[in-house]
Amino acid sequence: MRHDALLPPQVHHVAYLVDDLEAAIRNAVDTFGAGPFFVLRDVPLDATADSEPVEFKHSAAFGQWGSLAMEFMQVDSYGSARLASAMGDPGPRVGHMAWVVPSLNDTIATLDRADLPMLMRARAGDIEFAMYDGRRQYGHHLEIHADSDGFRGFFQLVRDASVDWDGEDPIREPN
């Protein structure tokens, strides 16, 4: 019997929850040669958890480690007690694995039918995503992103900067 996949087979990026964004970046650069990293401070999100608006305050850094796109997240406030509890203890640790899907709403319906609890749905500009609690099954959360020009463009910037990178200027601001 064939089972339809809940998510595409290709993971887009892996995110780590960290207590200190700059220290995590420097460690990844010094230890693994990952980078450079583009830092987004105080990411403005229009977010909901349990169908209620939440103020999820965090900063994030995105870089490349070979073929793997990486994200470091430093969370200042989860915006709700349930979300804080579900997100777990502070880092460092794997926070989530992320996928890009052609239809966010269709994938949300599929994950809902699979009884994976949605933690948060959010938008920043044309970048829209939903985060699911996958701790019981996988030990970390799952994040699905709607495919969009803004999403693709940002990660293309990250990939392009990593090609022939000489290790200089490891912490950058996106243009």
Q: What is the pTM of this model?
A: 0.92
Predicted confidence (pLDDT) per residue in 5-37, tens digit: 677 778 999 999 999 999 999 999 999 999 999
User: Dmax over Cα atoms in the chain, in whole Å?
Assistant: 52
Predicted confidence (pLDDT) per residue in 91-140, tens digit: 788 999 999 999 999 999 999 888 889 999 999 988 999 999 998 888 89
| Alpha-carbon gap, residue 168 to 156, rounded angstroms | 19
Which CATH superfamily is 13-164 part of?
2,3-Dihydroxybiphenyl 1,2-Dioxygenase, domain 1 (3.10.180.10)
User: Where along the chain do its domains lie?
Assistant: 13-164
**Alpha-carbon torsion angle 151, 59, 61, 19, nearest 10:** -140
Hey, CA dihedral for 99, 103, 105, 106, is it positive or negative?
negative
Residue with tokens 């392009």: 160
Is-cis flag, bond preceding 36, omega within 30?
yes
Assess contact for 167 and 29: CB atoms under 8 A.
yes
Is-cis flag, bond preceding 92, omega within 30?
yes
